[in-house]
Amino acid sequence: MTDIPPPPMPPQPGFAAGPSDSKNNLGTWALVLGILSIVCCGLFAGIPAIIVGNKSKEAAAQGLATNGNLGQVGFILGIIGSVLSVLGGVFYGIAAAAGAY
């Protein structure tokens, strides 16, 4: 009988790579906060969207993130949501002062 060794074991599936140093979550968070600032949260989500969007753009400029466009969109949406929230508050204040409420 010949001494043939058995074939090697195949690699085990399901092992992922280690943690990444990329900051791609910043762009996603900026976009989500920007959308929330327009839809329902106003300044409470608009100001964080501006801050996180700015951080995302900085990370993309340094090469640490690959989705700088999401950060830019979240930044713009945060500005729009904040401005709309302030304008809504001003119009509400004028209407309340005029006796409409």
Mean pLDDT of 44-52: 96
Reduced to 3 states (helix: H, G, I; strand: E, B; else coil), residue 15 is coil
DSSP single-letter state for residue 46: H
Q: Phi and psi at residue 95, in whole multiples of 5°?
A: -65, -40
| pLDDT band at residue 52 using 50, 70 and 90 as cut-offs | very high
| pLDDT band at residue 37 using 50, 70 and 90 as cut-offs | very high
Q: Would you state the torsion angle of the CA atoms of residues 66, 73, 40, 80, taken in this order, to the nearest 10 degrees?
A: 150
Nearest one of 36, 20, 26 to 71, comparing CA atoms: 26
| pLDDT band at residue 5 using 50, 70 and 90 as cut-offs | confident
Cα–Cα distance, 25 to 35 (Å, whole number): 15
The per-residue pLDDT for range 19-33, each reduced to its tens digit, is 555 678 999 999 999
